[in-house]
Amino acid sequence: MLGGALVGACNVGLYQGPDRPDDYNVAGPPPPADFHCERGERRSEDTDHDGHPDSVVFVLGNGSTVCSTEDRNHDGRIDRWNRVENGHTVEQATDTNYDGRLDERARDTNGDGTLDLVTPFVPVLRSDDGGTGHD
């Protein structure tokens, strides 16, 4: 079993957690804690039809997507997490250099549908970790 707390703390490699349980086929950094992807039901997708899951979507009971992922360079590793509200991406966290670590965050700050604020990625600790960084 992979150590979700250890890997989550250093933000690299395969990640096991409530948002990616028991799926060793989809690798990459974990989602930002403040995206709260675990609220939705996790569904893997093979978007490039190569027989391997390369995308994960988190869907609420009403059918609305709360989070989605992208494998932008098709190496089998997730390198972008999208936070979705009302069918629109309102925030992204991206591994821009494909090293397994999220390093850039983009936000739609005024609700116009454009991700207009890009900043370095700084991990936010989950509220259920007691401030330690470990769940």
- Band of the pLDDT at 112, cuts 50, 70, 90? very high
Is residue 24's pLDDT more than 60?
no
Average pLDDT over the chain reads 78
Mean pLDDT confidence for 82-106: 95
Residue 97: how many other CB atoms lie within 10 Å: 10
Sequence-distant (6+) residues with CB within 8 A of 69 are: 26, 28, 31, 55, 56, 57, 78, 80, 81, 82
Mean pLDDT confidence for 105-119: 95
User: pLDDT above 70 covers what percent of the chain?
Assistant: 73
Is residue 92's pLDDT more than 60?
yes
Q: Closest by alpha carbon to 45, among 67, 61, 60?
A: 67
More confident residue, 36 or 12: 36
> Rounded to an integer, what distance in angstroms lies between the CA atom of residue 70 and that of residue 68?
7
Is residue 25's pLDDT more than 70?
no
